[in-house]
Amino acid sequence: MNTQTIAPAPTTAEADRTLKAKHRAMWALGDYHRVAAELVGDLGAVLVDACAVRPGDRVLDVAAGSGSAAIRAALAGGRVIASDLTPELFEPGQAWAAQHGAELTWAQADAENLPYPDGDFDTVLSCLGVMFAPHHRSAADELARVCRPGGTVGVLNWTPEGFIGQMFATMKPYAPPPPPGAQPPPLWGSEEHVRGLLGDHLDGLTARRGSLRVDRFAEPAAFVEYFKANYGPTIAVYRSIAGEPESVAALDRALTELAYRFLRDGVMEWEYLLVTGRRR
């Protein structure tokens, strides 16, 4: 009689570790710091200014990347920890901070399980970072948990309707299916969704849309090649279809068409949602 050994299903903890390892590896692809420094870095200043960081404030930047918001908060006088799941981003961030004369601490941490006590920070913020944590409720609860009562929580994320949100929608049919329970990052750019996540934690929650002016790409193809070379999520999707030339060509066309719709006289506007509130 033949017998078959069936491997046990992974536990929830094992599955989460595997998922987080994939996320860390994805953001280590390419050169995200280049994207931050050349394209989106100014948004860190927008968020820090909205949170009104003051000298002496204890600040946590969650999913900080190479520190566009953390560095601005340090320059405003904050005592800052820049935390991220992907420590490979810290070395360019440290060099960036040194160029600006900013002093801060760098720490590896999972946005869904922050290693800090309740109420440990005056300001907790995330700029284009926490949106990529797969379980939105867990991440939102952690943002609020580590902020002191009366302290500020602030997040800035791409909207679903804006250019980057539409880029993720364009890539989705070519990407591997997300694991059960994982939520799309651009939902963090929906005011209704963010109010549902943070509304019970924050008083005076305000949300406003803005746009980042991007004038780096003279033509749509230049955008596609830049993101294929530097942006981890885009690189990961292309790697997943590397053995399918027709799919690669189709995604090239789809992203080029998307960029064409948003590009006007060499300028693109990338919409974001900025949300702030006081910890209840």
Question: How many domains, in total, are found in the chain?
Answer: 1
The reply to whether 199 falls in a domain is yes
pLDDT at 10 over 80: no
* Average predicted confidence (pLDDT) for the chain: 96
The CA–CA distances, whole Å, from 277 to 72, 80, 151 equal 19, 19, 8
- Cα 26 to Cα 39: distance, rounded to the nearest angstrom: 19
For residue 111, what are the domain limits?
21-159+179-214+268-279
The reply to whether 254 falls in a domain is no
pLDDT in tens, 203-252: 999 999 999 999 999 999 999 999 999 999 999 999 999 999 999 999 99
pLDDT at 5 over 80: no
The predicted structure's pLDDT at residue 4: 54
pTM score: 0.95
pLDDT band at 61 (very low <50, low <70, confident <90, very high): very high
The reply to whether 253 falls in a domain is no
The reply to whether 34 falls in a domain is yes
What CATH code is carried by the domain that includes residue 195? 3.40.50.150
pLDDT at 72 over 80: yes
The reply to whether 16 falls in a domain is no
pLDDT band at 13 (very low <50, low <70, confident <90, very high): confident
The predicted structure's pLDDT at residue 101: 98
The reply to whether 169 falls in a domain is no
pLDDT at 1 over 70: no
Helices (H), the chain: 12-28, 32-35, 42-51, 68-75, 90-100, 136-145, 163-171, 191-198, 220-230, 232-240, 245-262
The reply to whether 124 falls in a domain is yes
Q: Which residues pair with 61 in a beta bridge?
A: 82, 125
The reply to whether 205 falls in a domain is yes
The predicted structure's pLDDT at residue 6: 55
Which has the closest alpha carbon to 179: 15, 13, 11?
15
